[in-house]
Structure 1
Amino acid sequence: MEMNWNRSALMIIDMQNDFAKTGGKAYINGTEEVIKNIQIIADLFRINQLPVIHIVRLYLEDGSNADLCRKEVIRQGKAMVIPDSSGAKIVQELLPKNAEMYEDKKLLTGNILQLAPFDFVAYKPRWGAFYKTNLEAWLKNSKINSLVITGCNFPNCPRTTIFEASERDYRLAIVPEAISQIYPKGIDELKGIGVNVLEHSVLKKELENGK
């Protein structure tokens, strides 16, 4: 499905220090390598005055808000993306220089916070960014109907988010080099539900032309 670039937004999923940096407490292999590619795309969106939405996970230390498969691991002391920890923060390279500080406790209440003129951050309690969040209402209010999905890591959160967005009739695109742990069969499956698979150069041209 063709994108409406003048009504598009970039979604950056789970690019937090614990997941995306090799020294993180729950590092996902290959994620640090996609940071630069995501940074390039984020800058393209900002230059074209289009939203960049950072989606983050936050796990309370008692595991009470974690996925069922992770509750016990966290309860036993596997601390990761704990609110207000450095590991929970968005990778610095993916934020604009004028980004404001944000409070994790405000994110946990469902608020979508503005960090800079074109950057926003939201918390998701499960794999998909639309599950029990205010994201769909926010996108509708912002007149967004096309999404470029990037981030960490494809088998879990980006893939789930893409299918959730497809269910809601969003026009979708990915740049494979901007999603960690992606693989050829997964790309083919996304093409099968109408996701546009683009290269950086094509994305840049499309944004500049603004269809």
Structure 2
Amino acid sequence: MALEDGGGKWKNVALLVIDMQKDFISGSVKVKGGEAIVPNVIKAVQVARKCGIHIVWVVRENDPLGRDVELFRRHFYDKTNMASKGSVGAELVDGLIIEENDYKLVKTRFSAFLNTHLHSYLHTNGITDLVITGVQTPNCIRQTVFDAVSLDYKHVSVITDATAAATSDVHTANIFDMKNIGVVTPTLEEWCQSTEQYIS
């Protein structure tokens, strides 16, 4: 039975979709493994919707002049406005759409928790468990996950084939590190089966 209202056993779960934006997937600062995971991220969102899992779209939107970006990245703004607010590159990739009941959170650093109200939003909505998808594994995924663990979220999962890095070796090494701090690391198929709402 689908849980369209966010109730039932999934009411305390949120799916975080991190940085699935055109600049990072196919644009000026693309992650080499990013395009390959787009279908899996789309499917994870579909499953989350069917189960009534909260969906949080975590996106980077920086100042067009780069005044709020990390110091080590400011050189990008000599050539391109990386995921700057209002730009095409800051848009979600094709196939991913923010719907009415979803939540959009804007960040300017790797971790979705740093200098944002994400923890407050999740806490006030009763979220104890997080499922993470997106790019890229050693940066925004890893730092968000480590912060979530530090903030005592009960269960943190990273879908291994709905996250990506520049190389498979980098991805695998970071998944290994996250697994060692208690993070669950299912494949998309394993995660879908665990929801009992598998979509073939």
Length-normalised TM-score, structure 1: 0.82
User: Hey, what does 1:33 align to over in structure 2?
Assistant: 36
Deviation of residue 35 (structure 1)?
Answer: 0.5
Q: 2:115 aligns with which of 132, 146, 151?
A: 132
How far the C-alpha of 1:199 sits from its partner, in A, is 2.2
The answer to whether 1:205 aligns with 2:188 is no
In structure 2, which of residues 14, 21, 25 is the aligned counterpart of residue 16 of structure 1? Answer: 21
Task: Tell me the matched-pair count.
Answer: 184
Question: Hey, what's the Cα distance between the residues in 1 that align with 2:187 and 2:81?
Answer: 36
> Residue in 1 aligned with 2:87?
85
CA deviations over 1:156-211 (Å, ceiling 9, x no partner):
110100001010011200111111115322222111110011122321232238xx
Residue 116 of structure 1: which of 89, 100, 103 is its match?
100
1:125-182, Cα deviation, whole Å (9 max, x unpaired):
2110000101000001110010011101111110100001010011200111111115
Contact (CA 8 Å) 1:9, 1:53: kept in 2 or not? yes
* Preserved contact between residue 14 and residue 131 of structure 2 (Cα < 8 Å): yes
AA in 1 matched with 2:67: S
Q: State the one-letter code of the partner of 2:126.
A: K
The runs of 5 or more residues in structure 1 that have no matched partner are 100-114
CA positional deviation for 1:61: 2.2
> Which residues of 2 match residues 1-211 of structure 1 at below 5 A?
5-21=10-26, 24-74=27-77, 76-95=78-97, 99=98, 115-117=99-101, 119-170=102-153, 171-181=155-165, 183-208=171-196
**Residue aligning to 1:107:** none
Question: Given that residues 129 and 161 in structure 1 are in contact (C-alpha distance below 8 angstroms), is that contact kept between their aligned partners in structure 2?
Answer: yes
Give the residue type in structure 2 aligned to 1:198. Answer: P
Q: Which residue of 1 aligns with 2:3?
A: none
The CA RMSD measured in Å over matched residues stands at 1.6
SS at 2:137's partner residue?
coil
> Share of identical aligned residues, percent?
30
The 3-state SS of whatever aligns with 2:36 is helix
- State the shift of 1:46 in Å: 0.3
Counterpart contact for 1:5–1:206, Cα < 8 Å: no
Structure 1 residue identity aligned to 2:25: A
How far, CA to CA, are the matches of 1:37 and 1:125 in structure 2? Answer: 25
- The answer as to whether partners of 2:58 and 2:104 remain within 8 angstroms in 1 is yes
Q: Distance in 2 between matches of 1:208 and 1:6?
A: 15
Give the TM-score normalised by structure 2.
0.86
